[in-house]
Structure 1
Amino acid sequence: MAYDNRDDNLKETYLSGEDIYNGAIMRVQKWEVALPDGKKAEREIVLHHGAAAIVPLDERGYITLVRQHRVAIDEFTWEIPAGKLDYAGEDPLSCAKRELEEETGYKASNWLKLANVVSTPGYCTERISLYLATELTKSEAHPDVDEFLYCKSIPLAQAVSDVLTGKIIDLKSCLGILMAERMLRDLTVPLNATGFYADSGYLHG
């Protein structure tokens, strides 16, 4: 968005930082910042390399989701395939291609960038690149040794419904699914009676 000079009255300025925790996928630091009114404050910040997430859409209009148990919330979730960048500065598309094949066994010939988003800007530096992957071919999944998951494919329209009814709660998945559906809808004419977008080849549901 365009610069607004009122933003000058909001800006916090980094002064110094120290490590609190340095782990395998993130670092946590305590920062001292200068507030707009000249006072100082402390912020606890999670430093993260970033991630990539993929909406894999096949020729039927189905997307593939991944089922996992997320111990932090002690819930089983349906999510779009995703994974963290292996290192700071890794090409997000390379990460997306790797994670799609590892988690689902699919390779895609066509990739479209949907968005770059921040997950929790209040305290984390993570940025997630969202992609739509099409023209899929099946190979063999090979998840990381500490990943336990399985996949299912459902119509994109059902996935949208699952987002809106709270069956899919993972934020990157919600956004990726809704953006993919909206983009496909905007690029094509209204649905015909069979559920196909006319002249598109994409199934809506």
Structure 2
Amino acid sequence: MKNEIQPWETLKSDIVFDHKWYQLRRDYVRLPNGLELDDYFVSVRRNVALTFPLTDDNHVIFVRQYKHGVQDILIELPGGVIDEGETEPIEAAKRELLEETGYASDNMQFLLQVADNPTKDTNKIYFFLARNAHQVSAQNLDRTENIEVVKVPVADVEGMIISGQIRVSGSVALCLLALKELEKEI
């Protein structure tokens, strides 16, 4: 007989680092088998919206930028954190698409909510498919951003994943999900 999966009991939590972009929480927990841990660290982060923008001429709009955490220049889908005051993830998806690329869409479809790294992070990622994406303005980047807009034929996206050109986990997942969704229309 299988053991029933049960949640851990949180006995106490302390914020050990607090910054506007990131909090580190130390949880004191009791596991279902009775074992207690006094040093389970959790990254408390804001939720993210990520968009697969598809143009009328069947191109996907990606962004290419330096990511300091992995110290590499990566190709990924446009997206970012859901700001305070944004009541729906689609608001952040539209805002980030416009800011990072200058593109907009009047046909945004929610596809899925996923956990980013559920072992140690609290945040979720909301995936959107944006059909009829079209350029409406120049980029409006933060002073810390230097982003190149990359327009890729939709037929090349899967190959770019397989070859490792697209290797950011959320972008890989959303690309494959969006491609599957688009197959339904063919």
TM-score (norm 2): 0.93
**Among 123, 128, 138, the residue aligned to 1:126:** 123
**Among 149, 152, 170, the residue aligned to 2:150:** 152
Shift in Å, 1:106: 0.8
Residue in structure 2 matched with residue 20 of structure 1 by the alignment: 16
Shift in Å, 1:88: 8.1
Residues 45 and 123 of structure 1 are in contact (CA less than 8 Å); yes or no, is this contact kept in structure 2?
yes
Shift in Å, 1:24: 2.0
Residue in structure 1 matched with residue 175 of structure 2 by the alignment: 177
Shift in Å, 1:90: 3.5
Cα distance in 2, alignment partners of residues 187 and 137 from structure 1: 20
Gaps of 5+ in 2: none
Residues 49 and 87 of structure 1 are in contact (CA less than 8 Å); yes or no, is this contact kept in structure 2?
no
Residue in structure 2 matched with residue 136 of structure 1 by the alignment: 133
Residues 116 and 130 of structure 1 are in contact (CA less than 8 Å); yes or no, is this contact kept in structure 2?
yes
Aligned length: 183
Letter in structure 1 aligned against 2:30: A
Residues 50 and 126 of structure 2 are in contact (CA less than 8 Å); yes or no, is this contact kept in structure 1?
yes
Letter in structure 2 aligned against 1:168: I
Shift in Å, 1:89: 6.9
**Going by fraction, where is strand more abundant, 1 or 2?**
2
TM-score (norm 1): 0.85
User: Is 2:79 the partner of 1:82?
Assistant: yes
Q: Secondary structure at the match of 2:106?
A: strand
Say if 1:88 and 1:171 are closer, same or farther in 2 by CA, change over 3 A. Answer: farther
Residues 86 and 92 of structure 2 are in contact (CA less than 8 Å); yes or no, is this contact kept in structure 1?
no
Say if 1:33 and 1:89 are closer, same or farther in 2 by CA, change over 3 A. Answer: farther
Gaps of 5+ in 1: 189-205
Residue in structure 2 matched with residue 47 of structure 1 by the alignment: 44
Say if 1:89 and 1:32 are closer, same or farther in 2 by CA, change over 3 A. Answer: farther
Cα distance in 1, alignment partners of residues 63 and 133 from structure 2: 16
Cα distance in 2, alignment partners of residues 162 and 146 from structure 1: 27
Residues 9 and 31 of structure 2 are in contact (CA less than 8 Å); yes or no, is this contact kept in structure 1?
yes
**Among 105, 110, 114, the residue aligned to 2:107:** 110
Spell out, residue by residue over 1:69-104, the C-alpha distance to the aligned partner (whole angstroms, 9 max, x if none): 011111100000010011387311000010000001
User: Is 2:50 the partner of 1:66?
Assistant: no
Q: Secondary structure at the match of 1:143?
A: coil
User: Is 2:33 the partner of 1:33?
Assistant: no
Residues 12 and 36 of structure 1 are in contact (CA less than 8 Å); yes or no, is this contact kept in structure 2?
yes
